[in-house]
């Protein structure tokens, strides 16, 4: 059922006032703020990429707030973006990968989730919604006419060209794709974003929401990331950081689970390649920094900057040599899951650094809060919560916010070629719980192989010393509590995601050995009381029956509560055995034979770019016939994972 705002509510939203229904709500008696969301692809937080983005540092971090405890709940492009759009965990969207059977754009369409997500909700509240850049993996030549729904305007990158940075191909509102010859993709996104901002600030009077989603610093297919030509000589000799978990010892590597414990040391050519990867990533991000610079200048020129939230983040993090793993994401560790979140806007303090926790599930509720939508009107399926009060009061402590400190991260399927030093097809499925409190912080993971990991991330921030190996009595007690929380969060929905302790409290109260006198636990410290040992020890262990490429309810039993086994089906359609349309006999458009993005092109406009641009021909579109085979999809997407 679509999320519909009643006409009376819509009228009040557009009028002079909706009473502030909760602490942290936007000022609904003034002109409602605009939102510009700049969403990069594969950008790290822990490898210091932000240090090399001059404008992001001076105009967003110094004039806004940096949130250091923000997480992607799936460390992979498509499922992370789907979760953000819907405010739901991947186990509830069932978009769990970049290819079938786990997920892609076709699965997003067939699930019906494409008809009930962020742009619909903001649009019904009176916002104009627009999108430029990468949407979801699998928006291909075979599907371009089935444009992403809900947007007033969308100009999206089209596969298989999304990572061919010098051959940028976009489809505007589902029209025939256009090839922007002689230009770099990042410059095209910059020009398109500025063109739309001119329209949004000059030719219409609604508040607006605009996503700008460059594909940088993601690597190219079979290659390193592709920077603009004008930045290809920047940062000569730069090396990747070598933190404590970079290329660790045999002893530490042996403590890892699954395929990770078999990795050999990174040596010689691999180390040189990691340095090249890092340098090319930093070079590629200079073009993103230019987008930020131009967007801020235009908003200031149009006198809209002070009434606009600028939100900067990435779909997932990235590793380069950590735990001996080459280059990529998909792992549960801090480099892959902890992502940048920087906010500048109305009532957001300047130069603040905050440890208040959050996830991508929280961004859609936060944007609705900014739009003055009453929280009683939010979609019932939200797993996240609004962060607007945190954005306005980042100096608040997270101590005592035990429900907020619980972060669920999950993954299904293989790690992908670029992620490993081995075959690249190792199954990487796991369920992970993070506690990110100021005084209590752990990473607990349960892998499909049956192996476990436990790190005290206050004492061991590089996640090297696996306490689940040969645990002592006190560590076993700790694991029992973490297992109980993970048993809830791995399949949680709605309020249970926001307060997993409530599920454990109910289960404990029904348990014969649960103490009945006194106040029952409501946080981790209270749950560690020895009087609850019997209860937590009695809970079934989180497990997988086997390692699979996709989510399967039977495979991931047991569930707590039992009703969470539905995994979000009440709010999506069945997509079992869906297939992806295939394009046959397509002629590749001529690739640019040299690097694009020169200094002379730095300020080129869409009008300039259209002089060389052309629509794809019938031959280049090919013809849609049959479906993509499993082998073809693996070959197509393993390199981009």
Which of these, 425, 350, 412, lies nearest to 552 by C-alpha position?
412
C-alpha 251/C-alpha 465 separation (Å) is 10
- 125, 10 in Cβ contact below 8 A? yes
Helix/strand/coil (H/E/C) assignment for every residue in 568-584: CHHHCCCCCCCCCEEEE
The answer to whether 44 and 317 are in contact (CB under 8 A) is yes
Catalytic residue among 77, 372, 448, 508: 77
Task: Determine phi and psi for 407, rounding to 5 degrees.
Answer: -115, 125
Q: Tell me what percent of the chain is helix, strand and coil, each rounded to the nearest 5.
A: 35, 15, 50
- Which phi and psi angles does 67 have, rounded to 5°? -105, 110
CA distance 548 to 448: 8
- Widest pairwise Cα distance in the chain: 77
d(CA 293, CA 300): 11
| Nearest partner of 601 among 609, 592, 593, 613, judged by Cα | 609
Could you list the beta-strand ranges (E) of 448-522. 452-456
Residues 398/404, Cβ–Cβ less than 8 Å: yes
Q: Which residues contact 52 (CB under 8 A, 6 or more apart)?
A: 235, 282, 285, 286
Taking CA atoms, 404 is separated from 70, 75, 158, 386, 628, in Å, by 11, 20, 37, 11, 41
Q: Which of 145, 128, 114 is nearest to 197 (CA)?
A: 128
What count of other Cβ atoms lies within 10 Å of the Cβ of residue 306? 10
Is 448 marked active-site? no
Report the catalytic residues.
77
């Amino acid at each position: 059922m679509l999320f519909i705002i009643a006409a009376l509510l819509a009228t009040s939203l557009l009028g002079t006032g909706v009473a502030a229904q909760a602490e942290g709500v936007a000022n609904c008696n003034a002109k409602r703020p605009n939102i510009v969301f700049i969403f990069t692809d594969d950008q790290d937080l822990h490898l210091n990429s932000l240090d090399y983005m001059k404008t992001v540092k001076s105009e967003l971090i110094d004039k806004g707030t940096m949130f250091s405890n923000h997480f992607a709940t799936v460390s992979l492009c498509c499922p992370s973006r789907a979760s953000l759009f819907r405010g739901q965990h991947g186990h509830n969207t069932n978009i769990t990968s970049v290819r079938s059977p786990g997920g892609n754009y076709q699965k997003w369409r067939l699930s019906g989730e494409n008809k009930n997500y962020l742009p619909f909700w903001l649009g019904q509240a009176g916002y104009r919604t627009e999108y430029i850049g990468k949407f979801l993996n699998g928006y291909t030549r075979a599907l371009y006419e089935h444009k992403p729904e809900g947007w007033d305007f969308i100009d999206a990158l089209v596969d298989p060209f999304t990572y061919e940075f010098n051959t940028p191909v976009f489809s505007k509102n589902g029209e025939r794709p256009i090839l922007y010859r002689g230009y770099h993709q990042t410059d095209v996104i910059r020009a398109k974003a500025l063109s739309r901002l001119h329209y949004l600030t000059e030719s219409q009077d609604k508040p607006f929401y605009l996503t700008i989603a460059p594909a940088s610093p993601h690597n190219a297919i079979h290659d390193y990331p592709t920077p603009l030509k004008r930045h290809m000589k920047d940062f000569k000799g730069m090396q990747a950081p070598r933190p404590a978990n970079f290329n660790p010892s045999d002893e530490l590597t042996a403590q890892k689970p699954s395929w990770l414990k078999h990795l050999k040391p990174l040596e010689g050519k691999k180390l040189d390649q990691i340095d090249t990867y890092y340098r090319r990533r930093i070079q590629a991000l200079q073009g993103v920094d230019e987008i930020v610079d131009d967007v801020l200048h235009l908003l200031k020129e149009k006198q809209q900057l002070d009434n606009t939230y600028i939100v900067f983040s990435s779909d997932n993090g990235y590793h380069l040599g950590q735990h001996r793993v080459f280059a990529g994401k998909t792992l549960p560790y801090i480099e892959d899951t902890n992502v940048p979140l920087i906010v500048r806007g109305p009532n957001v303090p300047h130069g603040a650094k905050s440890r208040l926790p959050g996830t991508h599930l929280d961004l859609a509720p936060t944007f609705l809060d900014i739009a003055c939508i009453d929280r009683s009107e939010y979609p019932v399926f939200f797993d996240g919560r609004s962060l607007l009060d945190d954005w306005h009061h980042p100096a608040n402590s997270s101590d005592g916010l035990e429900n907020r400190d619980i972060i669920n991260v999950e993954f299904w399927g293989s790690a992908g070629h670029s992620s490993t030093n081995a075959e690249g097809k190792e199954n990487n499925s796991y369920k992970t719980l993070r506690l990110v409190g100021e005084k209590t912080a752990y990473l607990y993971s349960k892998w499909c192989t049956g192996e476990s990991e436990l790190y005290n991330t206050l004492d061991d921030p590089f996640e090297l010393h696996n306490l689940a190996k040969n645990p002592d009595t006190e560590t076993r007690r700790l694991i029992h509590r973490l297992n109980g929380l993970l048993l809830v969060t791995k399949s949680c929905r709605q309020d249970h995601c926001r307060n997993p302790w409530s599920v454990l409290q109910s289960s404990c109260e029904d348990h014969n050995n649960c103490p009945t006198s006194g106040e029952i636990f409501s946080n981790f410290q209270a749950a560690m009381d020895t009087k609850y040992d019997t209860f937590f020890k009695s809970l079934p262990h989180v497990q997988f029956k086997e390692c699979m490429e996709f989510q399967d309810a039977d495979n991931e039993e047991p569930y707590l509560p039992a009703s969470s086994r539905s995994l979000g089906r009440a709010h999506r359609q069945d997509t079992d055995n869906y297939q992806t349309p295939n394009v046959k006999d397509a002629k590749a458009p001529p690739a640019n034979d040299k690097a694009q993005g020169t200094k002379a092109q730095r300020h080129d406009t869409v009008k300039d770019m259209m002089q060389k641009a052309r629509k794809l021909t019938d031959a280049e579109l090919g013809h849609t016939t049959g479906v993509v085979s499993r082998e073809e999809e693996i070959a197509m997407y393993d390199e981009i994972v």
